[in-house]
Amino acid sequence: MILSVKPLGDSAVTVQLGDAIHPRIHRRVRSFCHHLEKDVPPGVVEWVPAYGSVTVFYRPHVIRYDELVKKLTDLAADLDRVQLPPARLIVLPTVYGGEWGPDLPFVAEHNGLPPEEVIRLHSGRDYLVYMMGFVPGFPYLGGMSERIAAPRLERPRPRIPEGAVGIAGKQTGVYPLETPGGWRLIGRTPVRLYDPGREEPILLRMGDRLRFQPVSEAEFREIREQVRRGTYSVEIREYGGGEEA
Amino acid sequence: MRPALEVLQPGLLTTVQDLGRVGFQHTGMVAAGAMDAFSLQVANCLVGNRRGAAGLEMTMTGPELKALEDLVIALCGADLGATVDGVPLPMWKSVVLERGSILRFRGSRRGVRAYLAVAGGICGEDVMGSKSTYLRAGIGGMHGRPLRRGDILERGDGPVHLSRSGRRLSADRIPRWGKRAEVRVVLGPQEEAFTDEGIRTFLTGEYQVTPQSDRMGIRLQGPRIEHRETADILSDAVAMGAVQVPADGQPIVLMADRQTTGGYAKIANVISVDLPKVAQLPPGGTVSFRQIDLPSAQELVIRQESFLKRLEAAGRSG
């Protein structure tokens, strides 16, 4: 069940459960975290799931490496049979094109599609949040149509606004913070993936599904105003789709 | 909360830091925290604070601070040439900073980052259980930014026990930093991404700290470390001290403001007790890496942990 267990320095250990970006491996990672959450070994501080691994941070003065590895190995037995709670589906209203998505024409032209078709393909499926990382609240998403793939900018923009929806190669993503970046920007969501003032500052979790819902510029402005006033509630429901992305 | 210090000059980069945001890395939240956690913890212990209380991290050229009341302070970490009203300030020792006196720094003499603890702890914006400033997201500490002229730093409530001054760290415990460091590492987790020659190069070469180094990572330049095929891995979590080697073969030691995950192979990880040595390396300084086994590395953390625990208890009992 475990491909390898390797120390990451003297206070962390990486448990490798798969070596590809795949919904089945993702499910194994989720199952492992589910087990860990129910029965946190003493000395474990936190853990960080990734595409095919879970890294566990611990205090060596409470639990030594060998003892922890034994516990983690036990947790990893039978991962494929774990019953997981249903995933959440989170809907992000998104305005495409225009000043909000300056690279939509490029992505369309690059793929020989009309811009409306890029929007249809991008918003027409639900994306799996494989992992979180990079900056607070950033989801690594899987499941984008390869028909709208586009290379990164050769010269990254010094500032990409919060909420920008972009494409880089075969990946799509949303920027939770204003940062520099080389993604092709096709739209903008008014929903904040990261809001330090919110009770749960980070909106998304590993294992969630994400849907981009096209909205008009007027709707975008209206929602953005509601977000500012704190009256907007993000649409979150139980994900009804299948296990495989 | 009580006004404690007024910032007359902010210095190059002075931020509020504690031991970082623990427990949120799975959301992508960067840990931040002190680059040299040992020095911050000692400073806190000497003034009778909890080890993890927030203090100031001061870089290269320190700030200029005026005491707004009588304070008990301790300065640890890099020697930045501190003076109080012109008189050199002893380091690794708690002292009284009298109301109206001015703490100044003449510039770095040894090391890069100094830590100032104030009895009662430095107050600041608490985000996800930590006051550490994370500059990129603009959170924690002083509104998520470095100190500016005119800022007023507050300290935690409670009377100042002037009797708590005069505690010092025993001389044999005081770290000595220079422009050269030998740093111990545990190999992996992706050592198999490198050729045997690549690993040998890493463990025998001398690497120079480039000016692009910051709180996110210490970027090094030296003999090129050879990968087997590619520098890319399936992105996974990183830890403080992880040594990433991108395709150009030049290692980067990830530090306090590291991203939570990364896509470059990690050849090794600096052991916890040697992280301060890396944090205190100046640009142009050099570092070499020596392998030690995991049990020995853990023995060293455990010993340091029990030492800090004793120091903390001694500070709080007085």
Which of B159, B175, B191 is a domain's end point? B175
Q: What ipTM did this prediction achieve? A: 0.96
Do B149 and B189 fall within a single domain? no
**Is residue A243 very low, low, confident or very high in pLDDT (cuts 50, 70, 90)?**
low
By three-state DSSP, how is residue B83 classified? strand
Do B210 and B138 fall within a single domain? no
Residue of B nearest to A162 (CA): B137
Per residue in B196-241, pLDDT (tens digit) is: 999 999 999 999 999 999 999 999 999 999 999 999 899 999 999 9
Residues linked to residue B207 through DSSP beta bridges, in sequence order: B287
Do B191 and B130 fall within a single domain? no
Eight-state DSSP code of residue B172: G
By three-state DSSP, how is residue B126 classified? coil
Do B90 and B230 fall within a single domain? no
The domains of chain A, with CATH numbers, are 4-81 (3.30.1360.40), 88-238 (2.40.100.10)
- Structural domain contains residue B313: no
**Is the pLDDT confidence value at A244 over 50?**
no
Minimal CA separation from B135 to chain A, in Å: 12
Quote the domain boundaries for residue B74: 2-175
- Determine how many CB atoms are found less than 10 A away from the CB of residue A146: 9
Q: Which of B127, B236, B299 to mutate to test the interface with A (most CBs of A within 10 A)?
A: B236
Residue A197 is predicted with a pLDDT of 82
CB contacts, 8 Å: A59 with chain B: 305
Per residue in B73-129, pLDDT (tens digit) is: 999 999 999 999 999 999 999 999 999 999 999 988 899 999 999 999 999 999 999
Whether B125 and B143 have beta carbons less than 8 Å apart is answered as yes
CB–CB contact B26 A176 (8 Å): no
Do B218 and B274 fall within a single domain? yes
Average pLDDT over residues A238-243: 76
Do B104 and B226 fall within a single domain? no
Residue A245 is predicted with a pLDDT of 42
Whether A175 and A158 have beta carbons less than 8 Å apart is answered as no
CB contacts, 8 Å: B271 with chain A: 9-10
Minimal CA separation from B241 to chain A, in Å: 8
- Structural domain contains residue B33: yes
* CATH at residue B208: 2.40.100.10
**Is the pLDDT confidence value at A1 over 80?**
no
Per residue in A205-216, pLDDT (tens digit) is: 999 999 999 999
Per residue in B171-180, pLDDT (tens digit) is: 999 999 989 9
Do B192 and B151 fall within a single domain? no
Whether B47 and B73 have beta carbons less than 8 Å apart is answered as yes
Average pLDDT over residues B291-298: 98
Per residue in A129-177, pLDDT (tens digit) is: 999 998 899 999 999 999 999 998 888 888 899 999 999 988 899 999 9
3-state secondary structure chain A: CCCEEEECCCCEEEEECCCCCCHHHHHHHHHHHHHHHHCCCCCEEEEEECCCEEEEEECCCCCCHHHHHHHHHHHCCCHHHCCCCCCEEEEEEEEECHHHCCCHHHHHHHCCCCHHHHHHHHHCCCEEEEEECCCCCCEEEECCCHHHCECCCCCCEEEECCCEEEEEECEEEECCCCEEECCEEEEECCCCCECCCCCCCECCCCCCEEEEEECCHHHHHHHHHHHHHCCCCCEEEECCCCCCC
By three-state DSSP, how is residue B125 classified? strand
Mean of all residue pLDDT scores within chain B: 95
- Token digits for B303? 């010993």
Residues linked to residue A48 through DSSP beta bridges, in sequence order: A55
A174: alpha, beta or left? (left if phi > 0; alpha if psi -120 to 50) = beta
Residue type, A162: E
How many Å apart are CA B297 and CA B48, to the nearest integer? 29
Do B133 and B187 fall within a single domain? no
CB contacts, 8 Å: B272 with chain A: 9-11
Q: Which of A45, A8, A178, A119 is nearest to B26 (CA)?
A: A45
Average pLDDT over residues A19-34: 94
- Structural domain contains residue B265: yes
Longest dimension (CA), chain B: 62
Look-up: residue for tokens 């209203």? A93
User: Is the alpha carbon torsion for B209, A160, B259, A123 positive or negative?
Assistant: negative
Number of domains in chain B: 2
CB contacts, 8 Å: A20 with chain B: 234
Do B42 and B66 fall within a single domain? yes
